[in-house]
């Protein structure tokens, strides 16, 4: 199920297309409901500090943080090098 949702997320990642931000957000909600920390590495690449779609970014945070705590923290730590390299700060 997670794989299917992540594939659908990719389809709606272009927010310049009408309804894509809404669809993207709905899929993020579904991913969050799974509470699967395996989604974290895939979701991290969608963060964009320069977006105009702050509500979508908040939904993204919800989806990342919704996983089981120990797994969520482990997934973040395992991807810290990638996150640091891709951070604008």
Domain ranges of the chain: 2-86
**pLDDT at residue 71 greater than cutoff 90:** no
CA distance 77 to 84: 11
Rounded to two decimals, the pTM is 0.84
The H-assigned helical ranges of 1-89 are 2-11, 20-34, 40-44, 54-65, 69-78, 80-86
CA distance 83 to 47: 10
Average pLDDT of the residues of the chain = 90
Question: What pLDDT is recorded for position 6?
Answer: 97
pLDDT tens digits, one per residue of 10-42: 999 999 999 999 999 999 999 999 999 889 999
Backbone angles phi, psi at 8, to 5 degrees: -65, -35
Determine the average pLDDT of the residues in 47-57: 88
The answer, yes or no, to whether residue 84 has pLDDT greater than 70, is: yes
Give burial (CB, 10 Å; 0-12/13-18/19+) of 4.
exposed
78 has pLDDT over 80:
yes
């Amino acid at each position: 199920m997670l794989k299917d949702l992540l594939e659908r997320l990719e389809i709606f990642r272009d927010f310049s297309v009408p309804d894509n931000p809404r669809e993207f957000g709905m899929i993020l909600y579904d991913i969050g409901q799974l509470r699967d920390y395996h989604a974290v590495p895939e979701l991290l690449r969608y963060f964009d500090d320069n977006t105009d779609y702050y509500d979508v970014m908040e939904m993204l945070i919800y989806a990342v943080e919704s996983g089981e705590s120990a797994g969520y923290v482990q997934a973040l730590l395992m991807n810290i090098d990638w996150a640091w390299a891709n951070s604008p700060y």
